[in-house]
Amino acid sequence: MLVGSDIAKAISLGGVFALVRFRSVPGDSKDIASVFYCMSVGLAAGMGYIWFAAMLAVVIGILYFVLMFFNYGTKKNEPKELKITIPENLNFNGVFDDLFEEYSYGATLEKIKTTNLGTLYELTYSIMMKENADEKQFMDSIRCRNGNLNIVLCKTQERFEVL
């Protein structure tokens, strides 16, 4: 409706949307929807359709806040990445299994890496924490077993491949 029958406007608008979409940081759909929402309102206002831009901003804004209020589309429990550094003399097979059973739904050993010239191991687990689990208490329990070495608990980083 905003572009009308002008083919030049349509092609340039498609280029702008593609540029914004593929130059933005890969994120969830809520982020890109916000970008398209802002571009649509800005385009309508820039072309002189002020009332249409205002109505679009109000209607989509209300819809956006209603969906956010009901947490529509959010993941309830995401897997996390747990990195534990242990000394080389500690046998890591099953040493944390009882803690994983208490604080998580399950953990999978993803990677083992030597660090500090081979004197330390870095274990990387994929872990699904329980909703009511106390993360500080979990970290303190691991710290007691690994000799107070580094522990990192964070979101699993998504890996994107560029084709």
Instruction: Kindly report, residue by residue over 22-33, the tens digit of the pLDDT.
Output: 655 556 667 777
- CA distance readout (Å), 47 to 2, 43, 56, 61, 103: 8, 6, 14, 20, 56
pLDDT digits (tens, 9 = 90+) for 34-43: 777 887 888 7
Ranges of CATH 3.30.70.240 domains, the chain: 80-155
Q: Chain-centre distance of CA 107, in angstroms? A: 19
Predicted local confidence at residue 120, as pLDDT: 92
Q: What CATH architecture is 80-155?
A: 2-Layer Sandwich (3.30)
